[in-house]
Structure 1
Amino acid sequence: MDIVLTIILDGLIYASWLFIVALGLTLVFGVLRILNFAHGGLYALGAYSAAVAVPFFASWGLPPAFSLIAMFIAALAVAIVIAPLIERGLLRLFYGRDEVLILLVTYAVFLILEDATKMVFGVDPYYVFEPRNLLGNVEVGSLFYVGYDLALIGLAIVCGLGVWLGLHRTRIGKVTVAVINEPEVSAAMGVNIARIYLLAFGLGVFLAALGGAFTSPLISVQPGISVSVIVVSFAVVIIGGLGSIPGAAIGALIVGLARSFAVYEAPEAEIFIIYLVMVIVLIFRPEGLFTPVQARKI
């Protein structure tokens, strides 16, 4: 029984931060119709920024709990600085162009971010242990888990509900949904499409950086973390369906539980099982599990 509970909890913890990252990826695709390959680099930038921000603010003599706020500030700073540079300075020049061309552009941005992080932060690993010590250990049945790890599940739920409610219960969200469904009609009615695109892309960047920032206490922040994240994030959104928030949640759960099961029962298949699940979904439902049915245009 303990092994089943362990697999479930480990799967949920892995799925939580992965969902936050995939949520930003699927949001950008849903609004801008762009497969943002640079998303992994933005995740890494968030992790590096948090790894620098936490000890920086700690040197001011602030309470240890402020490290959580420092990670949030680091992610927000990445979004405020980087999102306008990429979206306004580059991506807007390619709107309406071939999807493969835009994918190659975002891949080029990914490579630039990868080298830029090495130049700015160096190649030595960073370790951020302070936030993970804040919540102590939590007893779950006969098992003990780090409270911070379990808190990531709550953070993922807050992010998912926040984005969903923002899209469906606020005026700017309803305008964004209108832009998603009918961009030409929205523009004709006076909607500032460029501003909506910038806001959506900025939120996507923030979610990628937030996932990286709050994952930094769990990992060694070093060059290369962006590669594995973007590949697995693509698997999540492909399984769940591009542009679907519930799909990103279910996809993250499937990937997290599948990986956790493999870690304990077949460690050599830890990565393979994720792509096996993705292939199975693509065979039987190529559009993903939660992609809404599209009306055929004549």
Structure 2
Amino acid sequence: MLQSLVPLLVDGLANAALIFFVAVGLTLVFSVLRILNVAHGSFYSIGAYAAASIGLWIVSSGFSPYLTFPALLLSAALVAALFGPLVERTLVRWTYGKSEAVQILVTFGLFLILEDLQRMVFGVQSLYEDTPMALLGITEIGGIVYLNYQLLLIGLAAVVIIGLRLLIRHTRHGKFLAAVVADREVSQTLGIDTNRVFIMAFALGVFLAALGGALATPTSGVAPGLGAETVVLAFAVAAIGGLGQIEGAAIAAVIVGLARVLAIYYAPALDAVAPYLVMLVVLLIRPYGLFGSVTTRRI
């Protein structure tokens, strides 16, 4: 019994880790900027394309294959540096204070533009670069084989959770983030540069989405349409945990990851719908998510 449960748990947590990176970026942006960013999935796929392209270039150029590990982080950082401030200043900032419908339409338009841009730059062929996963190899415990790369993903997700919590609670910029989340207008009267906070939060959200895409590349590669699939799943995870709840996103990602793996093992036909069945059940019981709550809204 234990031998069958442990692989399921490892696969589920590894799957949850990749989902978590995207969902926590989405929920972080929503908690600070109060926008539903449909284009978030595009940053995931751009991070994946960038990581695969840089990794393939490193290998083909004869450099040390171990450079593909920092390349994963570098890819996410480059995407965040390029798109984070640019998109927030030129497009997203215009939607502040407007209705959710306007925000969704604007960010959906950005999503369509970024999807076409990816096809223009990277083409329509799938890219696959699994050097990091191959270098880490496997571990056999009790006759069961585990991919060390999966264990790395789980560890990195834990580091991100702890890092975000330390950032928010124990750093100056993190306290600015928390203050803006609590009350934007009071923060402005206290002298906090909310525009700067918005740029930082949006860029951090882009980085987390791109990091999820970069880390997913060695396991599944990247192909056109990946962004659309990912953003829908990220919204489901964010809704289950409660929009704006970082810990909620982590727990919801674990629930969804385990649900997907259980479906793959025991009911493959339900693989694609398992996360949304979980979301449906949770929202029927708790309409604001597991950790969400009813808040007052100024009209």
Give the TM-score of the pair, scaled to structure 2.
0.96
Which residue number corresponds to residue 126 of structure 1?
Answer: 127
Matched, 1:206 2:183: no
**Residue type at the aligned position of 1:266:** A
C-alpha distance after superposition, 1:53-79 (max 9, x if no partner): 112233454322210101111110000
Aligned residue number for residue 91 of structure 2: 90
Alignment RMSD (CA, Å): 1.5
Offset of 1:103 from its aligned partner? 1.0
The CA deviation string for residues 181-226 of structure 1, in whole angstroms up to 9 with x for no partner, is 1110111111111000000000000000000001001113110111
Equivalent residues of 1:20, 1:160 under 8 A apart: no
| Matched position secondary structure for 2:287 | coil
Give, in angstroms, the shift of residue 271 of structure 1: 1.7
Partners of 1:295 and 1:113 in 2: CA distance: 35
Q: Distance in 1 between matches of 2:130 and 2:275?
A: 29
Secondary structure, counterpart of 2:125 in structure 1 = coil
Shift of 1:292: 4.5
Is the 2:10–2:150 Cα contact (8 Å) retained in structure 1?
no
Superposed, which structure 2 residues align to 1:65-76 within 5 Å?
65-76=66-77
Contact 1:10/1:260 (8 A) holds in 2? yes
The alpha carbon displacement at 1:46 in A equals 0.1
Give the residue type in structure 1 aligned to 2:200.
L
1:128-151, Cα deviation, whole Å (9 max, x unpaired): 011111211012332111111211
Counterpart position of 1:152 = 153
1:13 is aligned with what amino acid? A
Q: Is 1:111 equivalent to 2:112 in the alignment?
A: yes
Which region of structure 1 is more displaced relative to structure 2, 284-293 or 255-264? 284-293
- Amino acid across the alignment from 2:255: I
DSSP 3-state at the match of 1:145: strand
User: Does the 8 A contact of 2:84 with 2:203 survive in 1?
Assistant: yes
1:20 match: 21
Normalised to the residue count of structure 1, the TM-score between the two structures is 0.96
Paired residues for 1:1-298 under 5 Å:
1=1, 2-292=3-293, 294=295
Q: Which amino acid aligns with 2:141?
A: V
Name structure 2 gaps, 5 residues minimum. none
Quick one: distance in 2 between partners of 1:125 and 1:103? 28
Task: Summarize deviations over 1:247-289 as a string: whole Å, max 9, x none.
Answer: 0011001000111111111110112221111011111100000
| Structure 1: segments with no counterpart, 5+ residues | none
Q: CA deviation at 1:296?
A: 7.8
Deviates more, 1:139-148 or 1:178-187: 139-148
Partners in 1 of 2:272 and 2:27 — Cα distance?
A: 22
CA contact 2:288–2:294 (8 Å) conserved in 1? no
Q: Is the 2:41–2:230 Cα contact (8 Å) retained in structure 1?
A: yes
Measure, in 1, the Cα distance between the counterparts of 2:49 and 2:297: 45
> 1:217 is paired with a residue of what secondary structure?
helix
